[in-house]
Amino acid sequence: DADVTQTPRNRITKTGKRIMLECSQTKGHDRMYWYRQDPGLGLRLIYYSFDVKDINKGEISDGYSVSRQAQAKFSLSLESAIPNQTALYFCATSTNPGTGELFFGEGSRLTVL
Amino acid sequence: AQSVSQHNHHVILSEAASLELGCNYSYGGTVNLFWYVQYPGQHLQLLLKYFSGDPLVKGIKGFEAEFIKSKFSFNLRKPSVQWSDTAEYFCAVNAANAGGTSYGKLTFGQGTILTVHP
């Protein structure tokens, strides 16, 4: 089983719908992240959390929200999805304090029509 | 805040050719540097990393990278590529202390797609 698990792996939805992407990890890491990948833009950080009571905005947080339900769970929500949120989303974890090395999930491909 | 620039968006090579992918970062302090690889349809995996010490670091599958502090560069190299190296490669950096402990989040470059023809 993967150490960092994302669900769903693929999702097609319509504009205006609420979407939740979930991430769970068995690595025991304190730090969790949500990144978005778009062709030619690399990975951009949406939100990150250094522990259960800590939530921080990344560089592209508008239109997204997160919830850190437990050390092992970090979910990303799109309250009202729009087409330009079509992308591949990755959850990642790292140790605390650590070196910054990230351990990635398999990715969630979201298409907003 | 740090930023990362990868010079080539798409590199096309034949098998056995040598590879060098450029990566430059902008940050005045100590950094930790990483190269990640994403094979088609898969998630990102760590290829190699530099925290301190020997600026020439070796990673998996015959890859290596050299940290040149004066040039703010961390270029990835492989003497002879294989078809199975076809993937997208990402350079990443974060600020750190002298002991290698990171201060925060990782910043990624735009990625370089490598296509290797048999």
| Beta bridge mates, A47 | A34, A57
Mutate to test the interface with A, among B5, B102, B110, B113 (most CBs of A within 10 A): B102
Asked if pLDDT for residue A1 goes beyond 70, the answer is: no
Task: Determine the distance in angstroms separating the CA of B116 from the nearest CA of chain A, rounded to an integer.
Answer: 19
Contact A99 B51 (CB under 8 A): yes
Q: Which pair of tokens denotes residue B26?
A: 């902008």
- Of the residues A30, A102, A106, A108, the best mutation for testing chain B's interface (the one with the most B CB atoms within 10 Å of its CB) is A102
Distance CA A48, CA A20 (A): 16
In DSSP notation, chain B reads: --EEEES-SEEEEETT--EEE-EEEE-SS-EEEEEEEE-TTS--EEEEEE-SS-SEEE-GGG-EEEEEGGGTEEEEEESS--GGG-EEEEEEEEEB-TTS-B-S--EE---EEEEEE-
Q: Are A66 and A7 in contact (CB under 8 A)?
A: no
B45 reaches A (C-beta below 8 A): yes
Q: What share of chain B is helix, strand, coil (3-state, %, to 5)?
A: 10, 55, 40
Query: Cβ A99–B101 below 8 Å, yes or no?
Result: yes
Interchain contact, A40 vs B44, CB within 8 Å: no
Return the sign of the alpha-carbon dihedral for residues A79, A80, A82, A88: positive
Residues A43, B34: C-beta atoms closer than 8 Å: no
How confident is the prediction along chain B (118 residues), in pLDDT tens digits per residue? 778 999 899 999 999 999 999 999 998 888 899 999 999 988 899 999 998 889 999 999 999 999 999 999 999 999 999 999 999 999 999 887 777 777 667 899 999 999 999 9
B30, B39, B105: best mutation site toward chain A, by most A Cβ within 10 Å? B105
What residue spans of A1-113 are helical by DSSP H?
none
Mean pLDDT of A9-34: 96
